Amino acid sequence: MTTISRRHVLLGGGALGATALAGCVDRAPSPGPSGGPTSYPTPSLTPRAGRTTVEAALRPRPVTLDLGGVSAPTWGYGDEWDSGLLRGTAGDLFRVDVSNELEASTSVHWHGVRVHHAADGVPGVTQEPIVPGATFRYEFVAPDPGTYFFHPHSGVQLDRGLHAPFIIDDPDEPGAYDDEWVVVLDDWTDGVGRDPDDIVADLKAEDGDVSGGMGPGMMGGMRNPGMVSGSIEYPHFLINGRVPAAPRTFEGRPGQRIRLRIINAATETVFRIALGGHRLTVTYTDGLPVRERGTDAIYLAMGERYDAVVTLGDGVFPLAARAEGKGGGALAFVRTASGEAPTANVRVPELDGDVLLGTRLAPAESSRLPDGDVDDTFDVRLNGQVDPYGWGINGLKYGNHEPLDVTEGRRVRMRMTNMTMMVHPMHVHGHSWALPGSGGLRKDTVLVAPMETIEADLITDNPGEWMLHCHNLYHAETGMMTTMRYV
């Protein structure tokens, strides 16, 4: 990883200067006990045989997004909802220069992609923050095909317009579909409602205790009982950057097989998604293939991805995403015939049909982790509550956390127990879990329901210090993060 801009040098070049400057603008969490990024050996940065180098540039900057008649001053990688979209093939070398045109420090994390440590984009853990005016070069070989996205790992910047799809094609694509549609779900407040940095500052100030398990007052203290997807109010929910009143439309032909690549890029909303009049055949989750399974609807937690194939009917059909436990939702249309589109409040009965939870899936043979005995087991207890707001892991908040120390070449089991009344989509960097309770299903983001325990195994084959956190970023930023550290 190299710092390539002259301006960065002027702004204070080396790590020391960068840190000092970052002090006044960076809202990222401060580095953990280790005090700053540790280095691990970087693998050779050459494309796999027959593959190529994909060069890209990202300029995070203040932008105004048109959400469909709603204008949102925010931060983004460009003026479109998918500005910055990155695409290549497994085995390609990605070389992405990120030039920070914001007034805050930033970073880019390639969510779900098993990159090497120094390219993972976590300030304080894998790199120094990218200060305003600086350019940082990310270089990594993407090992697996699949549906991913990227976003900053700096405070709650994801809750602005700073995210985009990252599609990695399979060089041996079976291609049992005619066309594809990338579908990005989002919850939106920035520039039209409360500012994400103000929300997180208020929540941090509550400084809720995380030392215990469930407290007796917890149920009564819930601000948002029910499905408890999140506790923050969002004025809008979006599909591909649009509010339901101004929906996107995918144009196709009856009988076509479409691959949907669905990404939940929301910061704190779980969605339930369905395509009216259709069954979905789920083919992948979090990038990796599953045993195909039909369903009416799918739950998507923050950070999860599902690919589904659908055979289009004849007409105009709503693609509806309900914001779980929040009221409202997001909308788009699929059109294969002329005729009027239904209105924004169209009923989609499939949403109340059979709804798939990711952990009910089974892995495809090709994505199975080899069997083996577990060498080390770690308890990962999720603690905290909404009122007073505070979240932690094993009774500790990030900053005081105790890293899970691992060694290379082991099979490590994380036993994640949700001691709270809210769902937590847990996400691990640099690895993909196999879930023994789901026949070895591979996931990098897994929804742990209230009072549920999920075991998740991985092989320690990628040395580094890797974040393990809740992908409700307000939970993460108020404490629900730790790391898995190779020692």
Quick one: what does residue 303 bind among Cu ion, ligand C2O, none, with the CB cut-off 5 to 8 Å set by partner type? ligand C2O
Q: Which does 27 bind (CB under 5 to 8 A by kind): ligand C2O, Cu ion, none?
A: none
- Kindly tell me which of 128 and 477 has the beta carbon lying closer to ligand C2O: 477
Q: Which is nearer to ligand C2O, 455 or 477 (CB)?
A: 477
How many CB atoms lie under 10 A from the CB of residue 34?
13
User: Minimal distance in Å, beta carbon 442 to ligand C2O?
Assistant: 17
At residue 243, the 3 state secondary structure works out as coil
Q: Which listed option, Cu ion, ligand C2O, none, makes contact with residue 153 (CB within 5 to 8 Å by class)?
A: ligand C2O
Contacted entry of Cu ion, ligand C2O, none for residue 470, CB cut-off 5 to 8 Å set by kind: Cu ion
CA distance linking residue 319 with residue 69, whole number of Å: 20
Identify what 278 binds: Cu ion, ligand C2O, none; CB under 5 to 8 Å per kind: none
Q: Binding residues for ligand C2O, per CB under 6 A?
A: 109, 111, 151, 153, 303, 427, 429, 467, 469, 471
306, 146 Cβ separation under 8 angstroms? no
Q: Which amino acid is at 25?
A: V
Residue 181 burial (CB count, 10 A): 17
CB of 127 or CB of 267, closer to Cu ion: 267
Q: Order the strands of the 390-393 sheet from edge to edge.
A: 390-393, 376-385, 411-418, 453-459, 433-435, 441-443
Out of Cu ion, ligand C2O, none, what residue 443 binds, judged by CB under 5 to 8 A for its kind, is: none
Residue closer to Cu ion (CB basis): 22 or 476: 476
List the single partner that 475 binds among ligand C2O, Cu ion, none, CB under 5 to 8 Å by kind. Answer: Cu ion
* CA 210/CA 479 separation, integer angstroms: 9
Q: How far is the CB of 134 from ligand C2O (least distance, A)?
A: 21
Cβ nearer to ligand C2O, comparing 158 with 275: 158
Minimum Å gap between C-beta 309 and ligand C2O is: 25
Q: Which is nearer to ligand C2O, 158 or 280 (CB)?
A: 158
CB distance 307 to 282 below 8 Å = yes
User: Are the beta carbons of 150 and 184 closer than 8 angstroms?
Assistant: no
Q: State the minimum distance, in angstroms, from the CB of residue 477 to ligand C2O.
A: 11
Taking the complex as a whole, how short is the minimal distance between the CB of residue 130 and Cu ion, in angstroms? 26
Amino acid occupying residue 422: M
DSSP string, 315-338: SEEEEEEEETTTS-EEEEEEESS-
Nearest to 218 by CA among 425, 63, 391, 59: 391
- Contact status, residue 257 vs residue 311, Cβ threshold 8 Å: yes
Shortest spacing between CB 69 and ligand C2O, in angstroms: 29
Work out how close the CB of 265 gets to ligand C2O at its nearest, in angstroms, rounded to a whole number.
9
Q: Which residue has the CB atom at the shortest distance from ligand C2O? A: 111
The tokens for 206 are 């509550």
| Structural tokens at position 12 | 């204070």
Residues that bind Cu ion (CB under 5 A): 424, 470, 472, 475
Half-sphere exposure of 486 (CA within 13 A, CB side): 23
